[in-house]
Amino acid sequence: MNILISGGAGFIGYHLACKFLKENHQVTLIDNLKKTGSDNELNNLIKNKNIKLIELNLEDYESLKTLSEDFEIIIHLAAILGVQNVLNNSFKVLDSNVKMLSNMLTLAKKQNKLNKFLFTSTSEVYAGTLEKSMLEIPTPENSEILLPDLNLPRTSYMLSKIYGEAMCISSGLPIINIRPHNIYGPRMGFSHVIPQIIKRVIETKSGGNLGVYSPNHTRVFCYIDDAVSLISKLIFEYDCRNITLNLGNDSPEIKIKELVKKIISKMGRLDISLHDLPDTQGSPKRRVPNIDLLNKATNVTKRISIEDGLEKTIEWYLHFLNCKN
């Protein structure tokens, strides 16, 4: 199939492209490269004759007019994200994320044989309901969505995504909305919890002390290989349109402090001692999706364990940081 991935140079986009190439699909990546730039892995990927990377601004529809009208699958990953970025640029988050999606939906409507349009929403859509202690955990997709305080900058990202879901459903296109929950793995940058911990462990001197933010908050993590396999199954094997699904795991639920302990153990840094730091502002105390609908749609229940996923991720980051140095 002929596949278009926006934000294709990013974490999930790169790994999806790798999987699709193994399955002999034609893949076009579009990205402004402001967040990721280019790296050896991306450069090696685009050497493949079945893949093309186009640098363009998704907020400018004129630049999208140069693209083909023969895409069968469109995956929209591009967004302004990252907690600090959202806190510092809340208006930009709202404005840009909605513009990019609107332009991608317009492009999608011009395709001659579109089969699926997949939009990546966020687990943050449940934040307001959790804040008001009304959220069922594990959290099903049909949970009531309550808005957090609109004065909080962090709310902007959630709003851009829940509005995006509504835009997709109203578009008349064959839509799948996914709400990713703590996807992790190689090549995800350093703005997420697991690579941040790995980097901080490396930077901690022998016998040193490491502070843990939000130590008793809990998460369930999903390794990137599982995430892209599930997305692939939804696209190619699931015959449904206008569906919204959580993407991730429902176990094991782990405290952030316990996650840090696992990482320092796997990195052979048991010389490090830990101390608790305050909870990160706006961080939910628990985040666990109900994935019954996902499992039914994909017929997949087995996942890579947190132990194996952490080992693969740590190995990649150690190699990456050693190469940089």
Domain parsing of the chain, residue ranges: 2-185+222-250+288-303
Sign of CA dihedral 255, 257, 261, 262: positive
179 - beta bridge partners?
246
pLDDT in tens, the chain (325 residues): 999 999 999 999 999 999 999 999 999 999 999 876 668 899 999 999 999 999 999 999 999 999 999 999 999 999 997 777 788 889 999 999 999 999 999 999 999 999 999 999 999 999 999 989 999 999 999 999 999 889 988 899 999 999 999 999 999 999 999 999 999 999 999 988 999 999 999 999 999 999 999 999 999 999 999 999 999 999 999 888 889 999 999 999 999 999 999 999 999 999 999 999 999 877 889 999 999 999 999 999 999 999 999 999 999 999 998 877 6
Q: How many CA atoms lie within 13 A of 106 on its CB side?
A: 15
Q: Which CATH number fits domain 2-185+222-250+288-303: 3.40.630.40, 3.30.420.60, 3.40.50.1000, 3.40.50.720?
A: 3.40.50.720
Identify the helix (H) or strand (E) that includes residue 21: helix 11-22
pTM of whole model > 0.85?
A: yes
